[in-house]
Amino acid sequence: MDDLPNLKCFSLKCYRQINNYDEKILPLLHRMTYLEKLTLYLSIENRGRFIDNSHIQNEILLYMPRLHSLTFYISTYDDTDDLFRYVPNQDIQRIATNNGHQQCMANIIKYNSSRQAVCSIFSLPFVFNRLQNIGNIFPDTAFKYVTKLWVVDVMPFNHEFFIRISRSFPSLDKLHVTSSKLQLSCNMNAFLSDDSQSYLIAKYPHLTSPDVMNANVDCIEEFLNETKA
C-alpha cells in the first residue's frame, strides 16, 4: 500500500488487549514515512514473542526517517508453562531516531502468574496518566502524571514495595493490586536498624480508590494499618 505523505502526527491508545498488532497496526505504521510525532499505548496478547527495543528500532523507527518525537507504552503478554523461560529484569537504554533525536526507554520483564509473562517497554519520562503491569521491578524514576496504576506480580509485595510506589507515583488516584502470595517473613534485623524502611509510612495524598479485591491479606493490611498508610 502507498505511503501517507500528509500524515505528520499519529496517536493510538488502546487500553484493552489486542491480538492483531502484526497484521493491522504494524503495516499501518510502516506507511507513515513522513511522520514527525508518534504516540502509542498498546497491550498485545497472543503474539508469541515480546516487543523489545530491537523491535522499536527496526520495525518502527527505521520506517520513519523524519520522526523527532516518540512517546509510547507497549506491553506484550506471553502465556507459557515454563516459569524459567524468561528472567525477570529491567533495563534502561537510549535509542536514536533517524534524525539524531535521543530517546530514553525502559524495558521490564516479569511474571503476572506462573503461566503468564509480560514485557513492558515505554519511553521516559513517562507522560501517560495510566500504567499497567508494574511489579516488584520498576525504574527508580518519578511517574508524576500517572493517576491510575495496576500492580501485579507472581512474587509477593512487601512494605518496602509500597513505600517505593508512594514515592514514585505521587499523583495516584486509583491503585489496583493483584497478588496471590503472602509477603516474605519479616527480617528482625530490619526492625532493629535505625534506617529501616519498615518504620516509614506509605502516603498517598490523592488516592481515593484502592482496589485490593485480588490481593492477599498482607497487601490489604497496607491500606488498613494506620502505621503503614
Tally of helices (H runs) and strands (E runs) in the chain? 5, 10
87 three-class SS = coil
Identify the CA nearest to 37 among candidates 64, 60, 67: 67
Intra-chain end-to-end CA distance of the chain, in Å: 55
Q: For residue 199, what is its C-alpha cell?
A: 518504620
Give pTM, 2 decimals.
0.84
144 three-class SS = coil
Name the region of 125 (left: φ>0; alpha: ψ -120 to 50; beta: rest).
Answer: beta
Question: Tens-digit pLDDT profile for the chain (229 aa)?
Answer: 689 999 999 999 999 999 999 999 999 999 999 999 999 999 999 898 899 989 999 999 999 999 999 999 999 999 876 655 676 778 888 876 666 677 899 999 988 887 888 999 999 999 999 999 899 999 999 999 999 999 998 888 888 999 999 999 999 999 999 876 645 444 434 433 445 555 578 888 999 988 876 666 666 667 665 545 5
**What are the residue ranges spanned by the domains of the chain?**
1-124, 126-229
φ, ψ dihedrals at 177, nearest 5°: -120, 125
Contacts of 56 (CB under 8 A, 6+ apart): 72, 95, 105, 121
Q: For residue 76, what is its C-alpha cell?
A: 506484550
